[in-house]
Amino acid sequence: MKGEMEMMEDVVIVGAGIAGLATAVALKRVGVQALVLERSQGIRATGAALSLFPNAWLALDALGVSHKLTRSYDPLLKGSVTNINTGDVQQVLFPDQGIRTVHRKALLEALAEELPTDTIRFSSKLAAIESQEQGGGASIAVVHLEDGTAIKSKVLIGCDGVHSVVARWLGLAEPVHSGRSAVRSLAVFPQGHRFKHEVQQFVDHQDKRAGFVPLNDSEFYWFLTCKGGNMTGEPEQIQREVLEKYAENFPSIYLDVVRHADLSTITWAPLMYRHPWRIIFGNLNKGNITVAGDAMHPMTPDLGQGGGSSLEDAVVLGRHIGNSIIKNGGQFVEGDMAKAIDDYVKERRWRGALLVTGSYFSGWIQQGGAKWWVRFLRDRLFFRYIFGFLAGLAYYNCGNLPAVSSGKED
């Protein structure tokens, strides 16, 4: 393209969300500085909060940032699920270490603080991607931005979310609508709240599920998921629809939390996922180009593994690139990167597909509606037997990062 300003980088990461920033931190730990391209003007905090299970904390340990968050968020050891039609209450115990629900912004900032100030380039919108063959069978990726900049990179990693441009370039099938939607937000009680430090969820026979999780002494993360739904409009309108239409029959304890919503954090979105067989058999990489996080394996939130799986991806990708550097005497060898990325994809393909499947199944059971056999599965079997098996996915250890002496790390 004529008139473009060209740059050359070792690694370019598209997207400064959890996957993108965590991958940049992992690469920094193995001596590689990446350039992160983010289309927005600053760090995005869409989603308000997220729950991190033991697998996520092991990944954060490997990245060297877990201590920043554990001191601010206490673990949740149990929860309850109340059927608002029958009054039945199911108790749910979480893994031994518990889970911690954290502000999404706090996680993103904890990761960003680990990076040199010039790592993230904001307001960088992709226009096109191409791959240029080099001598010896190697290739470089070229990212063209809307402002006319062309960036050449030895490795390109798409961490650009559910509707990933990089995934589309690889030929991955588009994510599909699960048939459900979700409202998510924070709630603030300035004078403190009276609730227990545990997760509380509520289900009905009309395909709705809602709940809230305490973040600290004054803030909650709350959500509502339903089949269909189209709550577009201003935050006040979304809050009103939740209170007057979607959750009008839910317990007052839940409605009170919704009334305390921080309107600046309310979001509504359809719940998307990629069919697991598309992950197993799809093109997750081509040469030195790959994807991570939601760009690879978007999933519904029913197992709370979207953020955790993104952190796992970052550590595994960092490990394979780090091992390549070690094998090549501390050098970032362009020709060896395709194999490192291929090894990363082989390790993550089945794990991603399993999490997508488990998340979808969990959501389908919990919001199966009024059919008697679905209610039986949910109320008598799921939380007593099946949930424990699915929760076992949260015990996964993605491993550590290798110690690389390349002289590049700050």
- Give the per-residue pLDDT at 406: 47
- Give the per-residue pLDDT at 206: 75
Low pLDDT (below 70) residues in the chain? 1-5, 45-47, 95, 135-137, 229, 366-389, 405-410
What lies within 8 Å, CB to CB, of 15 at 6+ separation is 36, 37, 38, 158, 159, 160, 161, 164, 293, 295
- Give the per-residue pLDDT at 265: 94
pTM value surpassing 0.85 = yes
- Give the per-residue pLDDT at 369: 52
- Give the per-residue pLDDT at 402: 95
